[in-house]
Amino acid sequence: MTDHERPVDERPTVDHLGRPTNEAARVLAETGVDPSVDRQTELERIAIWFDERTGASHILRATLRKVFPDHWSFLLGEIALFSFVILVATGVFLTFFYVPSAAPVTYQGPYTPYQGQEVSAAYDSVMRLSLEVRSGLLMRQVHHWTAVIFVAVIVLHLSRVFFTAAFRRPRELNWIIGFGLLLFAIAEGVTGYSLPDDLLSGTGARIIYSAAMSVPFIGPYLSFLVFGGEFPTTAFISRFFVLHVMLLPALFAGGIASHVGLVFLQKHTQFRGPVERETNVVGRHFWPGQAFVSGGLFFLTAAVVAAIGGLVQINPIWAYGPFQPSLVSSPSQPDWYVGWLDGALRIFPPIEPTILGITIPSAFIPGVLIPGALFTLVAVWPWVDKLITHDNREHHLLDWPWEQPIRAATGMALLVFFALLTLAGGNDVLSVFLTASVEELTHIFQILVIVGPIVTWLVTYALARARLQRPPPDALEAEAEEHPGRPRHRGMAVQRTADGGFEEVEA
């Protein structure tokens, strides 16, 4: 069932009791008494008083009548929003028990191997939260798994927007906001991942510190600002806690509000269809259809992450132990959304070029320069796309991915590049399963990250071009109706002739 979006700025033609407004006005003018006053409840009087001064009913009516396209891919953004809500709810619970301090304390909890050992207050609080607080471990794992899924859904949502060209005018600003939300999500994950102060998260913090230090000129100042001195420091736990709990969530909330607000003002994009046009939106109204779909999706999302958090272990800090600067856990991999950075640092050659007398640290190119350049390309892609297509018109209908081969090929090449870097970040684990040395896998990934994206770009471009050359199904149907006796042309095929040769025939 489809429905067209209707005007939402019409004045109501009946009063709150269902009578014509002109009739209510006539009675009021003749008698000087509003005939509905004696029938109003106190709640109705308050609502009418509030509406007369704010016009809230008009906004509410417009919101309830807003039309949402009926396509599953548009639910990815809602799943990301629901994941954020779950993260906030579980995060609030965790802050009641977490101690953001690197001060040394003696562990006296129930985990016997660490009893009497000196650990940080942060690690001690997370151990107690996991093993002594009722439902504490469940909340920790739900929070962590939701963060992992959260970033994945944002990537899928941005990929859908990229491949369908939903970023085109007038939605360039919303693309920038959405891409910024991805960066905020990664930053939230990194800062939250470091808070337990265990050996694995401490190793990740050391890598982040090294990447920040490698930035020419400003690197030492930047890393000292974030970490509070030369790593390891006792200040970075509390600073990461402020970033994770206060600054980044505030930026996230503002970004989400701006993102959703722009969608509301600009209306949704939609795929082409029999009645879908640039000037309408076809789908279901927010109330009641979309509201029930979204409500069910929220509870389904919460149920899935709760089931995963309760059944699948993640980040068992008691197995890693407290952070010690002289130790590194093996194997050690971060969460997937920064695994590509670890992979880039592992496979990039130890090159330290000297430019204008300044030696560039080896971590700068794979850890800052290459990801910074690729992220910048993705952020400004709406304007790059305009240069490629020479199209600056407003668009409210979506493209199919193959309709712009260069866009599709570039997007697939970027995804393959980051996927290969993520796999390279686990070369020590892969070496065990593949019975190959870490050095061999490193050399293989060094070749793959160059050859893989190029091959992916060429193959995707060729497939998209081939798909564009196929006649659409409606054209074939129209040809068959216009010429009933003519065989339908769908393509060419090769068949063997009687004398052993080959010839092309229509398929």
Residue 39 confidence class, pLDDT cut points 50, 70, 90 = low
Query: How do residues 119-161 score in pLDDT, each as one tens digit?
Result: 999 999 999 999 999 999 999 999 999 999 999 999 999 999 9
Q: How much is the pLDDT for 333?
A: 77
Q: Which tokens in the block code for residue 339?
A: 């695994």
Q: Which tokens in the block code for residue 87?
A: 């993260």
Longest dimension (CA), the chain: 104
Around Cβ 181, how many Cβ atoms within 10 Å? 21
Query: How do residues 334-352 score in pLDDT, each as one tens digit?
Result: 888 888 988 999 999 888 8
pLDDT of residue 9 exceeding 50, the answer is: no
Residues in CB range of 338: below 8 A, 6 or more apart: 186, 189, 190, 204
Closest CA to 338 of 187, 443, 209: 187
Alpha helices in 106-135 (DSSP H): 121-131
Q: Which tokens in the block code for residue 59?
A: 């906004």
Cβ-contact 373, 367 below 8 angstroms: no
- Give CA–CA dist 164/157, Å, rounded: 11
Q: What is the mean pLDDT of residues 351-376?
A: 87
Q: How much is the pLDDT for 391?
A: 86
Around Cβ 270, how many Cβ atoms within 10 Å? 23
Q: How much is the pLDDT for 185?
A: 93
Residue 188 confidence class, pLDDT cut points 50, 70, 90 = very high
Q: What percent of the chain is modeled with pLDDT above 70?
A: 85
Q: How much is the pLDDT for 480?
A: 53
Q: What percent of the chain is modeled with pLDDT above 90?
A: 41
Query: How do residues 218-273 score in pLDDT, each as one tens digit?
Result: 888 888 888 888 888 888 899 999 999 999 999 999 999 999 888 888 888 888 87
Judged by DSSP in three states, 370 sits in helix
Q: How much is the pLDDT for 74?
A: 85
- Residue that wins the pLDDT comparison between 40 and 41: 41
Cβ-contact 383, 145 below 8 angstroms: no
Q: How much is the pLDDT for 8?
A: 34
Residues in CB range of 123: below 8 A, 6 or more apart: 107, 196, 197, 198, 317, 322, 323
Q: How much is the pLDDT for 235?
A: 86
pLDDT of residue 427 exceeding 90, the answer is: no
What 362-368 contacts at long range (C-beta under 8 Å, 24+ apart), as own/partner pairs, is 362/214, 363/210, 363/211, 363/213, 363/214, 364/211, 364/214, 364/215, 364/216, 367/210, 367/211, 367/214, 367/341, 368/211, 368/214, 368/215
20 has which bridge partners? 14
pLDDT of residue 10 exceeding 50, the answer is: no
Q: How much is the pLDDT for 14?
A: 47
Q: How much is the pLDDT for 477?
A: 56
For all residues of the chain together, what is the average pLDDT?
A: 83
- Residue that wins the pLDDT comparison between 474 and 297: 297
CA angle at residue 442 from 439 to 448, to 5 degrees? 145
Residues in CB range of 271: below 8 A, 6 or more apart: 69, 71, 164, 397, 398, 400
**How far from the centroid of its chain's Cα atoms is residue 300's Cα?**
18
Query: How do residues 437-469 score in pLDDT, each as one tens digit?
Result: 889 999 999 999 999 999 999 999 999 998 888
Torsion over CA: 8, 13, 15, 19 (sign): negative
**pTM more than 0.75:** yes
pLDDT of residue 179 exceeding 80, the answer is: yes
- Give CA–CA dist 389/382, Å, rounded: 11
pLDDT of residue 298 exceeding 90, the answer is: yes
The region, left, alpha or beta by phi > 0 then psi within -120 to 50, assigned to residue 321 is left
Judged by DSSP in three states, 359 sits in strand
Cβ-contact 372, 467 below 8 angstroms: no
At residue 490, what are phi and psi to the nearest 5 degrees? -115, -10
Q: How much is the pLDDT for 180?
A: 94
Q: Which domains does the chain have, with CATH numbers?
A: 3-65 (no CATH), 68-399 (1.20.810.10), 473-506 (no CATH)
Tell me which range, 39-53, 58-72, 94-108, is most confidently predicted by mean pLDDT: 94-108
- Give CA–CA dist 99/79, Å, rounded: 31
Least confident residue range of 3-7, 304-308, 383-387: 3-7
Q: Which tokens in the block code for residue 22?
A: 């002109």
- Give CA–CA dist 27/37, Å, rounded: 12
Q: Which tokens in the block code for residue 269?
A: 């994009």
